[in-house]
Amino acid sequence: MQRHTALGGDEFAPETVYLNSAASGLLPARTAAALRDALTESASYGTMGRDYLGTAERARGAFARLMGVPAERVAVGSSVAVQSAFVAASLPAGSEVLVAEGDFSSLVNPLVAHGGCTVRAVPRETLADAVRPGTALVAVSAVHAMDGRIADLAAIRDAARAHGALTYIDVTQAAGWLPVPVADFDYVVCGAYKWLLCPKGTTFMVFGGERAARGDVGGPGWPVPVHAGWVAGQDPGESNYGPIDRPAATTRRYDEPHAHFSYVGAAQSLGLLAEIGVARVHAHNVALAEEYRAGLVAAGFAPRPAPGSAIVSTPGLADAEPRLAGAGVRVSVRGGLLRAAFHLYNSSRDVARALALLVP
């Protein structure tokens, strides 16, 4: 059996066997160093640092390059839930929104709570077939957080286009290890604190699809920037007081005032992933997940089917989580399943350690 070593070189030296990237990622050494420098700077220059707006631009550009989209199609924010509320507010009253049963609450709940939408939930595997005339939006996570199942995004995209529906894809559990053609979809949101290794409070929204291809930001079909503050003005220095007369000509008009320290770190983490390459991370992560899955199956366990995923969730093992934690192996329990997530800083040695604690 081929043995897989960790990627990232000296950027990672965790004190634990960390198999919990589906909950949150580890910070690279360069990111931690940048954050320490930013904290020191804030003691003399304030909590927005010396280049608050430049910090967001660097992170935006790094994310855009990693995703293969123009930076002017990326907005920065604070959470997936806020972006979901924005998408809900952009829909006409009474719109039908199609979601997958049991999808992540930050994606789904704001669509339900808005009250102006009718939200219909169907089994994840039938989502594409469930799109119908009158469906205004299809919202789904590219990778299911609970058990790692990967959505058939191509089928969902094609079905939505055939019925004139918009698409809203959450790549929080995918970006950084699973290549996703984000430009194909109308809205793509990403909480970057997991597989993208950014500090929590870093979130990106990509505006894609046919609307974005026309290049007319703010034109017909574009949503109203309902939560726009001063950073969303064409000239933020002139957008501090009263209504914003000139929103930014790019999707920066949908920015939230960002958490400075989070975005200082984001630029560094995203840069590291670009150096390694998402394709290489994908191959590495999936190989480790398959190695772990094979070990569980050989021992008589039955992990949930999730072909090609870096996440492996297994019934009947939830009670083992405290024992693993006590032995320095970090995993999660979600929906009664023991969830292990494999990322670039993991190795075959980590797989062997987890299996040794799980398999009699």
pLDDT value at position 171?
Answer: 98
Task: Fold for 9-28+277-358, please state it.
Answer: Aspartate Aminotransferase, domain 1 (3.90.1150)
If phi > 0 it is left, if psi is from -120 to 50 it is alpha, else beta; for residue 139 that is: beta
Buried/exposed code over 299-324 (b: 16+ C-beta within 10 A; e: otherwise): eebebbebeebbbbbbeebbebbeeb
Contact (Cβ atoms closer than 8 angstroms) between residue 203 and residue 189 = yes
Q: Is the pTM of this model over 0.75?
A: yes
**Nearest partner of 22 among 140, 148, 109, 107, judged by Cα:** 148
pLDDT at 220 over 90: no
Contacts of 302 (CB under 8 A, 6+ apart): 296, 314, 315, 316
Amino acid at 328: G
- Whether pLDDT at 129 is above 90: yes
Residue 210 has pLDDT above 90, yes or no: no
pLDDT higher than threshold 80 for residue 261: yes
215 — pLDDT class (breaks 50, 70, 90): confident
Q: Which CATH architecture has domain 34-274?
A: 3-Layer(aba) Sandwich (3.40)
| Residues 137 and 165 sit within 8 Å (Cβ to Cβ) | yes
247 neighbors 233 (Cβ within 8 angstroms):
yes
For 160, the token pair is 């939505």
Split at pLDDT 50, 70, 90, the class of 2 is low
Q: Are 197 and 25 in contact (CB under 8 A)?
A: yes
- Residues 89-110 pLDDT 10s: 999 999 999 999 999 999 999 9
- Residue 17 reports pLDDT greater than 70: yes
How many CA atoms lie less than 13 Å away from 79 in the CB half-sphere?
8
Q: With a cut of 60, say whether residue 211 has pLDDT above it.
A: yes
**CA-to-CA distance for 9 and 70, rounded, in angstroms?**
29
Q: In angstroms, rounded to a whole number, what is the distance separating the alpha carbons of residues 62 and 88?
A: 28
pLDDT tens-digit readout, 339-357:
999 999 999 999 999 999 9
Question: What pairing do the DSSP bridges indicate for beta strands 74-77 and 203-207?
Answer: antiparallel
pLDDT confidence tier of residue 360, bands split at 50, 70 and 90: confident
User: For position 214, what pLDDT does the model report?
Assistant: 79
Task: Summarize pLDDT for 267-292 with one digit per residue, the tens.
Answer: 999 999 999 999 999 999 999 999 99
Tokens of 79: 């959470």
Percent of the chain topping pLDDT 90: 93
pLDDT digits (tens, 9 = 90+) for 143-190: 999 999 999 999 999 999 999 999 999 999 999 999 999 999 999 999
Mean pLDDT of 38-48: 96
How high is the pLDDT of residue 1?
56
Residue type for position 85? A
pLDDT exceeds cutoff 90 at 3: no
pLDDT band at 212 (very low <50, low <70, confident <90, very high): confident
How far, in Å, CA of 135 to CA of 117, rounded? 11
| β-sheet with 203-207: strand ranges across | 74-77, 203-207, 187-191, 166-170, 135-141, 95-100, 117-122
Domain boundaries, the chain: 9-28+277-358, 34-274
Work out the mean pLDDT of the chain and round it to a whole number: 96
